[in-house]
Chains A and B, each alone.
Chain A
Amino acid sequence: MKKLLINMRYWMAPILILVTLASILMGGMFVWVGVALFGVGIILDTLTINMHPTGAGFDEHGDTNGMPTLQNTVMYVMLPVFALLQVALAWRVYQYTTGVAIEPGVLFGVLPVTMGITGVELVGAAISTGIFAGIGIIYGHELSHTKGFAFVVSRLMMGLSGSAHFSYAHVYNHHLELAHEDDPATSPRGRNIYHHFWLSHMGQSKFLFGMEATRLAKLNKPFVSLENRWIRGYLMSLPTMLLFTWVGGAVGIAAMFLVWTISNFELEALNYMEHYGLIREKGQPIDYRHSWDNANLFSAWFFIEIGRQGDHHDRGETHFWELDEVGSPDGRWGYFTEFVVALIPPLYHSVMKRKLATWDRDFATEGEREIAAKINAQAGYELPEGHDSYGTI
């Protein structure tokens, strides 16, 4: 029973995704539930800012408290759930474009819904869908560190947001080049989240594009073929594109574009917050100091321990329920809170300037400190002697 309760803490996101799905089906003002839940998440994350629980941990026999079959099942089930989320939005797009009258109705004989939808409500439904489709990242990410069927599930999950390239780029680029300029997912100091969204998304897709060009050339095979994993990844997005084209033409594509933009923005925001400004010299090993940990209670449970970045980058194939505290620098705030601050670049830079000064002082090697000094001068991150940077991070 105790183990079950420990594992249930990681069902927060799946439950809220199902709530969002139901709210889009219900229609009317309920289409905004996904947006409201995100707001509640920001509040709860900020309220629990000083609560840092351990991971799932181990029992008295030394076995993990995680229940692998249960957690894996939840992750696999999320693929059809995310597909259904898109179908629900597509149904609303269809209603909007066919002018279905706005009136009470019943769905599946049990669910009271508002048939028909206004333009404003459709925007709300698309934003809610985008926010919770973006949460799919955490499962797509977790499964990208597997092989075979589970890896394909990861690709399909990311393909729902037009970013199936992530599964390869994350494992073969980000995990090998972390905190270096060869990793597009690591943001150098001074960059804002909006610019990083664009560059990181394009950079990761470009990585797989280049990787496949090289691989297929070595095999003496044409670039344009179904053996090309960059092309196959985009083809995984074809069902989504077909669905939204069919239900709403230009309106459907606009809704899909909004969903993709929001979900990919969330993906790159996570990348941004996980490694912002950290520095590694080329050829030097990846260490715990090259990731920002984030073990805040709400973020840890909602994002299935994705914030235990130091351990994750050390043991990439270790399941989330076995990840632990390893002594990485910790921003001491949750992802929801940090995300809101990052949306206001001057505010984010003013905080991170000080946190990175502490990193330079307490974590960086001599070589990393030299690089940091040059970047700080360029990014306006220099602090006066005796500055009030954080005591610890």
Chain B
Amino acid sequence: MASFKAITVTIIWTATAGFGLFAIGAYEHFRNPIWATGIATCLLGIHMVNMASYFKVAVERPSERFK
């Protein structure tokens, strides 16, 4: 259940941030090196926030033997 919540949080965050990138026209300017650098940095940031959010929400130990 915690994992489900965590995945939901990451999906919402990714969709919101992705919409933000779309709204500022990232899909039109990605060939501009400055835009590309900014977009790549944003995507990496989105990924890292996703990971950190998942760790905070899904608290179970990954290799727990007993359920």
Interface residues of A (CB under 8 A from B): 162, 180-188, 199-200, 202-203, 205-206, 209-210, 231, 234-235, 237-238, 241-242, 245-246, 248-250, 252-253, 279, 371, 374-375, 378
Name the CB-closest residue of A to B22.
Answer: A250
Given contacts A242-B36, A246-B33, contact A203 B44 (CB under 8 A): no
Judged by a CB distance under 8 angstroms, whether B55 is at the interface is yes
**A383 CA to B39 CA in the complex, in Å?**
55
B63 & A186 in contact (Cβ 8 Å cutoff): yes
Chain B: how many interface residues by the 8 Å CB criterion? Answer: 26
**A238 CA to B27 CA in the complex, in Å?**
19
Name the CB-closest residue of B to A231.
Answer: B48
A206 & B55 in contact (Cβ 8 Å cutoff): yes
**A2 CA to B43 CA in the complex, in Å?**
50
Name the CB-closest residue of B to A248.
Answer: B30
B43 & A253 in contact (Cβ 8 Å cutoff): yes
**A200 CA to B40 CA in the complex, in Å?**
26
| A-B interface, 7 closest residue pairs, ranked by CB to CB distance from nearest | A203-B62, A184-B62, A246-B36, A242-B40, A249-B30, A199-B62, A241-B40
Q: Please, which residues of chain A bring their CB within 8 A of the CB of B43?
A: 241, 245, 253
Q: Please, which residues of chain A bring their CB within 8 A of the CB of B55?
A: 202, 205-206, 209-210
Q: Please, which residues of chain B bring their CB within 8 A of the CB of A180?
A: 63
Instruction: From A203, A206, A234, give the contact of B47 (CB < 8 A).
Output: A234
Instruction: From B26, B30, B47, B51, give the contact of A202 (CB < 8 A).
Output: B51
Interface residues of B in 2-47 (CB under 8 A from A): 26-27, 30-31, 33, 36-37, 39-41, 43-44, 47
B51 & A205 in contact (Cβ 8 Å cutoff): yes
Dominant secondary structure of chain A at its interface with chain B: helix
Q: Please, which residues of chain B bring their CB within 8 A of the CB of A231?
A: 48
Name the CB-closest residue of B to A180.
Answer: B63
Name the CB-closest residue of B to A243.
Answer: B40
**A248 CA to B51 CA in the complex, in Å?**
25
Q: Say how far B15's CB is from chain A's closest CB, in angstroms.
A: 14
B31 & A246 in contact (Cβ 8 Å cutoff): yes
Q: Please, which residues of chain B bring their CB within 8 A of the CB of A210?
A: 55
Count chain A CB atoms within 10 A of each CB in B48, B55, B63, B67 and give the residue with the most. B63
Name the CB-closest residue of B to A260.
Answer: B47
**A234 CA to B41 CA in the complex, in Å?**
10
Q: Please, which residues of chain A bring their CB within 8 A of the CB of B48?
A: 231, 234
Name the CB-closest residue of B to A191.
Answer: B63
**A180 CA to B36 CA in the complex, in Å?**
43
A181 & B67 in contact (Cβ 8 Å cutoff): no
A-B contact pairs, 15 of them (CB 8 A): A180-B63, A182-B61, A184-B61, A184-B62, A187-B63, A188-B63, A202-B62, A238-B41, A241-B40, A245-B40, A246-B40, A249-B30, A252-B30, A253-B43, A375-B66
Instruction: From A199, A235, A242, A252, give the contact of B63 (CB < 8 A).
Output: A199
Q: Please, which residues of chain A bring their CB within 8 A of the CB of B51?
A: 202, 205-206, 209
Given contacts A202-B51, A209-B55, contact A181 B44 (CB under 8 A): no
B30 & A234 in contact (Cβ 8 Å cutoff): no
Q: Please, which residues of chain B bring their CB within 8 A of the CB of A249?
A: 26-27, 30-31
A245 & B62 in contact (Cβ 8 Å cutoff): no
Name the CB-closest residue of B to A206.
Answer: B55
Count chain B CB atoms within 10 A of each CB in A188, A235, A374 and give the residue with the most. A188
Given contacts A209-B51, A209-B52, A253-B43, contact A371 B65 (CB under 8 A): yes
**A210 CA to B51 CA in the complex, in Å?**
12
**A355 CA to B58 CA in the complex, in Å?**
32
B62 & A200 in contact (Cβ 8 Å cutoff): yes
Q: Say how far A200's CB is from chain B's closest CB, in angstroms.
A: 6
